[in-house]
Structure 1
Amino acid sequence: MPDGSPAGGARDADVLAGDPRATHLLAEDVHCALGDRVVLHDVSLRVSWGERVGLIGENGRGKSTLLRVLAGELSPQRGEVVRAVVGRVGFLPQRPGFPVGATIRDVLAEATAGTRALADRMRATEESLTSGEGDVDALLGTYGQLQEEFTRRGGWELDARVGELLEVFGLAGLDRRRPTQTLSGGERARLALAALVITEPAGLLLDEPTNHLDDRGVDWLLRWLSRYQNPCLIASHDRVLLDTVVSAIVDLDGPHGRAVRYGGNYRDYLDERAAARERWWQRYRDWRRQVVDARQRLDRAGRAGGNARVIRDNNKLAYHAAGSAAEAAVARATRAARQHLRRLIDERVPRPPEALRFTVAEPGEVTEPPDGVLLRAKGLVVGEVLRGVELTLSPGSRHVITGANGAGKSTLLSVLAGRRVPDGGAVERRPEVRIGYLPQESAFADERRGLLDAFAARRAAYRDDAAAELTRFGLFEPGDFDVPVNRLSVGQRRRLALALLFAERPHLLLLDEPTNHLSLVLVEQLQEAVDRFLGPAVLVTHDRTLRNRYADRVLELAEGRLVARHSATR
């Protein structure tokens, strides 16, 4: 249900579409504030029949809020929302909830109720036809329509379909009498997704649907979504999903916080962003050239004004007349040059931020070890999660570590980084090696200093130097510098952790879920920076795109040991 009645003239309506191909979901000039924070600023978006639109943007930009508004669960302060569909729009939030006391069986019964009701109506219509009651032609028409809808929903194989979904989403082993409140967050999300798929909704609003799925579940969902024809809007950071399923991308990181639409899939979006960046660089270069030209004109005008005319033939009258005209001409030229320069400064084109890259170590900064090894883990033991882990890191080596939740991946990285002492075994590293460690969770929650001051303190740098460094990375705008760190969004705190990582000029990288909480543009930049990095890198990640990129260097942490897993990706 909506969180409140529409305010400020906002309109929210369900409209019955006469033709299925006319179905659509619409947001028009939607403005939504949560407390004193504006989340959506005049956002407009339309998703039509046959479209699967990917919704992207950094954490805190309003993706989840926009989905809730379109689903009718949240009322905007102004704007228009229309759901023109034949049937119900299905909504999958990131943290789905169920009625108090509901069991798995109850959730599945509600999901299949519509299809079973169709079966009941088909049986009733069959009985009417058999008994000869009513208009036969009308009954046959009704039966045909019911049968068509029943077939579309997979009614003939409904029980088998329910079983398949529970199996593919990792829920088959659960007792269906089990209350939903006893399920883990991942299990609840997968159950809600299974129930949504069963209903075959007339429209889809999905918030990070692959978050809690394994590879098998993701593959199944992508195949199902690829066949889905009704309006579908998917907020996701899953690059495989965005590259294989969607027909358009909407970016909520557009100018002034508005939605910007790009045609095509994720790869097409990246190409367009790259082209836009090159256009930005060209505008910047043109602007710089014009500024240089304008300053040279101003300088020439100033020099011309300082050249005195020589008096000839004692003709002072002619001299003063000509001199006055020359001075006036020089003054006009100087004024015009100064106005042109002022206009250029007022219309300044900001310099595009440089691509993220790790600074190359100074020659001789790290002595080349005789065996070429910068770090070696020997027989690491930590409780029951690490049982004799061995790992060798040499310049240029890449390792991607996967494994089930709780397998000890984050524990392993913290030991390699020297943040945790193992119960057994040892980590051998050269003392001058700087380790760039990016933990999964950034420890900034209690930091009340402004962003710039906190960065400068951790860098032991002067404030001006720290500001120049942050600006060079392009991770923050100057307007963010005074915002207290504990008031930054999760995505912004992740950017701060990245800024500190790059500023360390590391020789070795240990990255724990590095793509979490980052915009996809920044994820691509970070991935390219890691590719260009000359030292060894270890990445703990569930990101399938990263795993595919390093498919021959994937290790699985299972039963406390690292084993090669060349078949980890497709």
Structure 2
Amino acid sequence: MILACKDLHKAYGIDVVLDKITFHLEEKEKAAIVGVNGAGKTTLFRVLTGETSADGGEYYMKKDATLGYMAQNQQTESTRTIYEEMLSVFEKILETEKLLREMENKMGTLVGQELSDKMEEYSRLQHFFEQNDGYSYQSRLRGVLKGLGFGEADFNRPLSQLSGGQKTRIFLGKLLLSKPDILLLDEPTNHLDIASIEWLEDFLRSYDGAVLIISHDRYFLDRIVTKVVEIEHKKSYIYNGNYSFYTQQKEINREIQQKAFDNQQKEIKHQEDVIRTLRSFNREKSIKRAESREKTLEKIERVARPEALPDQMRLTLSPLIISGNDVLHTEDLSKSYGGNKIFQSVGFDVKRGEKAAIIGPNGVGKSTLFKMLLREVTADSGIIRLGTNVHVGYYDQEQQKLDETKTIFAEISDTYPNLTAGQIRNVLAAFVFTNDDVFKPISALSGGEKGRVSLAKIMLSKANLLMLDEPTNHLDMFSKEVLENALNCYEGTVVYISHDRYFINKTAEKILELSPNGVTQYTGNYDYYLEKKAEQARNEAERAKEAGMSSSISPVAVSETKVDWLKQKEQQAAERKLAAKISRLEQEIEETESAIVKADEAMANASTDYTKAQQIFEEKTKLEEHLELLFAQWEELQ
């Protein structure tokens, strides 16, 4: 056990946030903290990090265990470049490396005991350097940066030029490289595209320490965690499984508890009816029997009524009129900014009733494409055509369509002036805005609350084509499920951008994968898309294998299709050669590192023989120089 909490209690004045929070985390265990927005998840993290103190209970952390914490929208302020900032994680290794080089230069002038003492100190430093991945820290750094979506061209960019989301990714990268024994991650996927999220999943699954995650990304949690700690009504509940197991088991547990409560209440009512009947007989024996039953009834251990579930929004989407069958047609769209081509040759069709998800890496132009479809950005070329009777409802992930100077009530009433005050209150109550909450200014709302206001406006719009840009951002898990159900029941057409793979899996019937060279369509949900991608990879591997077995190519005239096929084979052959070269380099790196370790041992044994020690030292220096060269070659090939 590396971390444990028992009966943690936290309150702000009379407002109790956490009460009797109890759970533990084993070494290398991966667990999630879940609950509705405002349940106290981030407050719990702040207690564990010591940022705030608990008012009661206790928590334990293993002696000498290191803890790393990433808060939401964590910012890194620095005048350094991205690479320099990431390199700061290895400050001790860099200092050790510098000291080792200085000692190597100095040892050539020493003899006798002075040399022996210096070599012993050198050996200790060398051991620290090797134990802390001194020979591979640069390749680890580059791997993490690339995994989080930064290319080689970004490495020398100053941090001052980065967006808030990019700075958050830099902080996450530094935290992962520092390798603490316990990682606390609060919404780590917020600023990552799907490829980076998948990389982070693989990284965390193989991470050698314990990980505790707050996340609304259900697909992410399904792939990583083996325990879920739910905070509901200020208390904690433990589920030993992934997110899907938690949702199923929670429903089962609630049904069991409700059934037990109902059955007991039925039995209590029956006994009370019997007691009243016995007393009504007004005879000595019947009264004694009634008193006996009363004593038995008093001794029954009462089953607690299941606490009411947190308030959830209620969303019903319905188009005012039915559109034509052809809802959206695009053809040969392209867009460039300042000579930098974002995408080209984009074309696809969306029919009435379809739910289409646009996916692709950050920076590929998904939001730009959306704005082109909405006529907010002009295409450089191509055709965009909306069908007959198509009326668009737009959900903006940045909520820029909301007026920050207005209250929630005014935002709805100004947009839909025909609604009465009572109707507006009823609509807002469906989105969990009640009483005086409806008069909160938009500027004071959280991201999730703004999202609910935007969804309320879309519901009232009665649009028959919904254009949704990251609709699940900032929504808690329960609200996401409500939105999923509403979209699945919606008779209109939906086109949306999302990085939420669970959401895509539940709602999409078509995947539009955007790349710089166009759109690839997959008719199915996210799991179907993954199957097709895997099938394509297998087919390419098979074709590569067949190409490797071919001894010659017939010298007859070939078609353009076959030329493309041959080029593909050549590329695959080059990739196989590259993989073989990398494998040989890795083997040579391993052998060279072993030779350096043996040289260290030989130097320690020959510390009294100056000539021999000097010879071994020179050999070791050559090995280290060769190792640096190997790592440089390996990084270049990667």
TM-score w.r.t. structure 1 length?
0.66
Contact 2:189 2:217 in 1 (8 A): yes
Say whether 1:484 aligns with 2:440. yes
Check conservation: 2:448, 2:475, Cα contact below 8 A. yes
Contact 2:219 2:502 in 1 (8 A): yes
For 2:71, the equivalent position in structure 1 comes to 93
Structure 1 contact 357–532 (Cα < 8 Å) conserved: no
Aligned to 2:455: 498
Q: How does 1:381-460 map to 2 (within 5 A)?
A: 390-405=347-362, 407-414=364-371, 416=373, 420=376, 425=383, 427-431=385-389, 433-442=390-399, 443-449=401-407, 451=409, 454-455=411-412, 458-459=415-416, 460=418
Cα-to-partner distance string for 1:158-213 (whole Å, 9 max, x where unaligned): 34333333333344515766543344434433333333222221211112223334
Per mean C-alpha deviation after superposition, the further-off stretch among 210-219 and 109-118 is 109-118
Identity rate, percent? 27
Distance 1:518 1:368, change over 3 A: closer
For structure 1, list consecutive stretches of 5 or more residues without a partner in the other structure: 1-21, 134-138, 298-346
**3-state SS, counterpart of residue 564 of structure 1:** strand
Q: Which residue number corresponds to residue 539 of structure 1?
A: 496
> How many pairs does the alignment contain?
487
Query: In the alignment, is the contact (CA less than 8 A) between 1:55 and 1:235 conserved in 2?
Result: yes
Change (3 A) 1:97 1:491: closer
In structure 2, which of residues 230, 241, 248 is the aligned counterpart of residue 271 of structure 1? Answer: 248
**Paired residues of 1:53 and 1:234 also in contact (CA < 8 A):** yes
Q: Residue 248 of structure 1: which of 218, 227, 232 is its match?
A: 227
Q: Which position in structure 1 is the counterpart of 2:475?
A: 518
2:326 maps to 1:373: yes
Q: Counterpart of 1:110?
A: 88
The verdict on how the C-alpha distance between 1:448 and 1:172 changes in structure 2, with shifts beyond 3 A counting, is closer
Structure 2 matches for 1:49-448, cutoff 5 A?
A: 49-72=27-50, 74-76=51-53, 78-79=55-56, 80=58, 82-98=60-76, 100-104=78-82, 106-114=84-92, 153-155=132-134, 157-171=136-150, 173-174=152-153, 179-252=158-231, 254-256=232-234, 258-275=235-252, 278=255, 358=316, 366=321, 369=324, 372-377=325-330, 390-405=347-362, 407-414=364-371, 416=373, 420=376, 425=383, 427-431=385-389, 433-442=390-399, 443-448=401-406
**Contact (CA 8 Å) 1:55, 1:233: kept in 2 or not?**
yes
1:231–1:436 distance in 2 versus 1, CA, 3 Å: same
Change (3 A) 1:280 1:68: same
SS at match of 2:353: coil
Q: Distance in 1 between matches of 2:144 and 2:437?
A: 48
Q: Deviation per CA, 1:439-481: give whole Å up to 9, x if none.
A: 2233445254355x6546645333334444444x4x3164564
One of 422, 437, 453 as aligned partner of 1:464: 422
Taking the aligned partners of 1:105 and 1:145, their CA distance within structure 2 comes to: 25
CA distance in 2, matches of 1:287, 1:507: 49
Secondary structure at the residue paired with 1:441?
Answer: coil
Relative to structure 1, the CA distance from residue 532 to residue 151 in structure 2 (aligned partners, 3 Å threshold; closer, same or farther) is: farther
Deviation digits for residues 123-163 of structure 1 (CA, Å, limit 9, x no counterpart): 99xx9xxx999xxxxx9xxx99996x877754553343333
**One-letter code aligned to 2:388:** R
Alpha-carbon contact 1:56-1:235 (below 8 Å) kept: yes
Partners in 1 of 2:14 and 2:398 — Cα distance? 27
What is the CA–CA distance in structure 2 between the aligned matches of 1:213 and 1:234, rounded to whole Å? 15
| Residues 115 and 197 (structure 1), Cα distance of their counterparts in 2 relative to 1, 3 Å cut | farther
Q: Deviations over 1:266-292 (max 9, x none)?
A: 1112213433565698699999999xx
C-alpha distance in 1, partners of 2:135/2:365? 45
In the TM superposition, residue 223 of structure 1 has moved relative to its aligned partner by 2.2
After alignment, is 556-565 or 379-388 more displaced? 379-388
Amino acid corresponding to residue 247 of structure 1 in structure 2: T
Superposition pairs of residues 23-34 of structure 1, within 5 angstroms: 23-24=2-3, 26=5, 29-31=8-10, 33=12
> Higher helix share goes to which structure?
2
Note if contact 1:58-1:519 (Cα within 8 Å) is conserved in structure 2.
Answer: yes
Which letter maps to 1:94?
Q
CA 1:395–1:101 in structure 2 vs 1: closer, same or farther (change >3 Å)? Answer: closer
2-structure distance, mates of 1:167, 1:506: 41
C-alpha change, 1:172 and 1:559, in structure 2 (3 Å) is closer
Aligned-residue Cα RMSD (Å) equals 5.3
State the alpha-carbon separation in 2 of the partners of residues 278 and 434 from structure 1: 42
CA deviations over 1:43-65 (Å, ceiling 9, x no partner): 55543323222123445554444
**2:76–2:170 Cα contact (<8 Å) kept:** no
Q: Can you give the 5+ residue segments of structure 2 that lack an aligned partner in the other structure? A: 115-119, 274-304, 523-528, 535-638
User: 2: distance between equivalents of 1:144 and 1:255?
Assistant: 54
